[in-house]
Amino acid sequence: MVDRNIQYTYMTNLWGNINYKQLNNFDEWYMGDFGSAYYYQDWDKILRYFAGAGFKGIELMVFSVPSIVNAFGSMKNFKEFAEKRGIERITGMFSHHVGSQDKRNHPAIFAYEQQAIDALAECGGINLIVQPAGQYYGTGPLDEEGLKNVAECMNTVGRMCAEKGLEVSIHNEFWCAVNKYDHEKFLEMTDPDYVYYCLDTAQVAIMGKDILNFYDTYHDRVKYFHIKDTTYINAPDEKRFGAGAEFDEKGARWFWEPGGGLLDFKKLWKLLKKHEHKGWIGIESDGTPDPLSTILLTKNYIDTVLDPIYK
Amino acid sequence: MKAVASFGIVNADTSGPGAFLRAAKWYWDELTDMFAAAGFNSVMIPMVPNTENVSRNGAPICTASICTRFGSPEGYLEYLNEKGIKNVEVIGVSAQSLFNSLFETGISIEKFYDVFYDYAADNIEALLQFQGSTLLVSPTPGIGFLKQVFQNDEVRMRRFFEEAAVSMNKIGQKCKASQINLAIRNEYWTQMRGEHIEAFMELVDPELVSYAPDPAHLKIAHADYEHLFRKYAGKAKVVCFTDTKFEDETDAYQTISPEFPQDGRQQRVYYDLGYGNVDFALLYSILKEADFDGPVVLESKYSLDIPKGILRLRTFWNRLEKQYLKNREVK
Per residue in A80-113, pLDDT tens? 999 999 999 999 999 999 999 999 999 999 999 9
Q: Which of A175, A247, A292 to mutate to test the interface with B (most CBs of B within 10 A)?
A: A247
Answer yes or no: do A115 and B103 touch at CB < 8 A.
yes
Per residue in B291-328, pLDDT tens? 999 999 999 999 999 999 999 999 999 999 999 999 88
> What number is the average pLDDT over the span A245-263?
91
CATH number of the domain residue B299 falls in: 3.20.20.150
> What number is the average pLDDT over the span B145-150?
96
pLDDT attached to residue B58: 87
How far CA A57 is from CA of A92, A166, B22, B127, B270, in Å, comes to: 9, 16, 26, 46, 33
Q: Is A16 helix (H, G, I), strand (E, B) or coil?
A: strand
How far CA A257 is from CA of A197, A201, A284, B44, in Å, comes to: 21, 11, 8, 37
For B103, the closest of A66, A247, A291 (CB atoms) is A66
Chain B's closest residue to A250, CA to CA, is: B26
Per residue in A288-298, pLDDT tens? 999 999 999 99
A267 in Cβ contact with A214 (< 8 Å): no
pLDDT value at B39 more than 90: yes
pLDDT attached to residue B93: 98
pLDDT attached to residue A212: 98
Task: Tell me which chain A residues have a C-beta less than 8 angstroms from the C-beta of B52.
Answer: 96, 98, 134
Q: Which of A43, A67, A70, A95 to mutate to test the interface with B (most CBs of B within 10 A)?
A: A70
B185 in Cβ contact with B214 (< 8 Å): yes
Percent of chain A at pLDDT > 90 equals: 95
Closest CA to B14 of A29, A283, A145: A29
Counting every residue written for chain B, the total comes to 331
| Pairing relationship of beta strands A279-283 and B2-6 according to DSSP bridges | unpaired
Question: Rounded CA gap, B46 and B28, in Å?
Answer: 14
How close does chain A come to B79, measured CA to CA in Å? 14
Mean pLDDT of chain B: 96
pLDDT attached to residue A2: 56
> What number is the average pLDDT over the span A200-212?
98
pLDDT attached to residue B92: 98
pLDDT value at A279 more than 60: yes
pLDDT attached to residue B157: 97
Domain that holds residue B283: 2-330
Question: Rounded CA gap, A241 and A137, in Å?
Answer: 5
Q: Which residues in chain B (287-306) have CB-CB distances under 8 A to chain A?
A: 304-305
pLDDT attached to residue B258: 97
> What number is the average pLDDT over the span B122-127?
98
A183 in Cβ contact with A151 (< 8 Å): no
Question: Rounded CA gap, B145 and B280, in Å?
Answer: 31
Paired residues of B90 in beta bridges: B44, B134
What residues have CB less than 8 Å from A176, skipping those under 6 apart? Answer: A131, A132, A133, A134, A135, A136, A140
pLDDT attached to residue B227: 96
B176 in Cβ contact with B208 (< 8 Å): yes
Measured between its terminal Cα atoms, the distance across chain A in Å is 10
A124 in Cβ contact with A79 (< 8 Å): yes
What residues have CB less than 8 Å from A279, skipping those under 6 apart? Answer: A6, A7, A223, A224
B311 in Cβ contact with B38 (< 8 Å): yes
A240 membership: H or E segment, kind and range = helix A237-240
Per residue in A214-231, pLDDT tens? 999 999 999 999 999 999
Chain B's closest residue to A22, CA to CA, is: B262
Answer yes or no: do B264 and A24 touch at CB < 8 A.
yes
Mean pLDDT of chain A: 96
Question: Rounded CA gap, B25 and B57, in Å?
Answer: 7
Q: Which of B9, B13, B20 to mutate to test the interface with A (most CBs of A within 10 A)?
A: B20
Task: Work out how many domains chain B is built from and give that number.
Answer: 1
Side-chain-facing half-sphere of B246: CA atoms under 13 Å: 30
> What number is the average pLDDT over the span B223-239?
97
Q: What is the 3-state composition of chain B as percent helix, strand, coil, each rounded to the nearest 5? A: 50, 15, 35
Lowest mean pLDDT among A63-77, A243-257, B140-154, B303-317: A243-257
For B20, the closest of A14, A22, A137 (CB atoms) is A14
pLDDT value at A244 more than 90: no
Answer yes or no: do B56 and A15 touch at CB < 8 A.
no
| Pairing relationship of beta strands A57-61 and A89-96 according to DSSP bridges | parallel
> What number is the average pLDDT over the span B283-289?
97
Q: Is A24 helix (H, G, I), strand (E, B) or coil?
A: coil
Chain B's closest residue to A247, CA to CA, is: B24
Report all structural domains of chain A as residue ranges with CATH numbers, in order of start: 6-306 (3.20.20.150)
Question: Rounded CA gap, B128 and B88, in Å?
Answer: 9
- pTM for the structure as a whole: 0.95
Q: Is B299 helix (H, G, I), strand (E, B) or coil?
A: coil
Lowest mean pLDDT among B78-82, B213-217, B250-254, B324-328: B324-328
Per residue in A165-185, pLDDT tens? 999 999 999 999 999 999 999
> What number is the average pLDDT over the span B166-187?
98
pLDDT band at residue B21 using 50, 70 and 90 as cut-offs: confident
How close does chain B come to A116, measured CA to CA in Å? 10
| Pairing relationship of beta strands A89-96 and B210-212 according to DSSP bridges | unpaired
pLDDT band at residue A243 using 50, 70 and 90 as cut-offs: confident
